[in-house]
Amino acid sequence: MARPGRVVLAGAVTGLLLVAFGKGMQTTTTTTPAAAGVVPKSIDIPSIDVEASLMKLGLEKNGEVELPPYEKPKVAGWYTGSAVPGEKGASVIIGHVDTKTAPAVFYKLKELRKGETVKVERSDGKVVEFEVDAIEQVHKDRFPAERVYIEDGLKLVTCGGRFDYATGEYLDNVIVYASQV
């Protein structure tokens, strides 16, 4: 778990990258807009027993991607600057690995394997199914922002690796890449 209020997803670099590619908080030409008002509502990952509601996440004033509140460890968040799952573009869902006292929504994310299923239910009633293509653990200093926030497909992101007690943060991110079935 990271200290509250601090984004640990290489947010400053991500914000700069999104601005450089013209993403920001607006729909871009690299994403296909869903019907007006359609948002992802929940995520289901049967192989690791995850069933969670999704909240909207934007950017902080400093350009870092918001995280779900620590007070809601079983909720994940969809980054609103990314595509709605099931539409063309990068769809990004972020969740905590743990809290000070218990596992959180993406605690078992690193256990996912290639070929396993991720389902995202949308507010229009559509359930979009994805197949896991790859899982990687990367140091936060080498966060692959372009691959996560620009390339097509669903990305699930959480913290992982060794926990640094001096900073109160994990040193790595665990990222799952999945393609629509």
**Residue 98 falls within a domain, yes or no?**
yes
**Residue 4 falls within a domain, yes or no?**
no
Any idea which of 22-26, 53-57, 94-98, 109-113 has the lowest mean pLDDT? 22-26
**Residue-level pLDDT at 34:** 56
Contact predicate 94/82, CB 8 Å: no
Per-residue pLDDT tens digits for 120-141: 999 999 999 999 999 999 999 9
- The count of structural domains within the chain is 1
* pLDDT higher than threshold 90 for residue 113: yes
Exposure letters 137-164 (e unless 16+ CB within 10 A, then b): ebebeebbbeebbbeebbbbbbbbbebe
What mean pLDDT do residues 75-90 have? 97
* pLDDT higher than threshold 70 for residue 85: yes
What mean pLDDT do residues 152-179 have? 97
Mean pLDDT score of the chain: 86
C-alpha to C-alpha distance for 168 and 24, rounded to whole angstroms: 29
Band of pLDDT at residue 100, cut at 50, 70 and 90 = confident
Residue 164: give the domain boundaries: 11-31+38-180
* pLDDT higher than threshold 60 for residue 178: yes
**Residue 2 falls within a domain, yes or no?**
no
C-alpha to C-alpha distance for 45 and 51, rounded to whole angstroms: 7
**Residue 73 falls within a domain, yes or no?**
yes
Residue 146: name the closest of 90, 93, 96 by CA.
90
Which CATH number belongs to the domain containing residue 43 in this structure? 2.40.260.10
Both tokens of 167, joined, read 């900073």
pTM of the model: 0.84
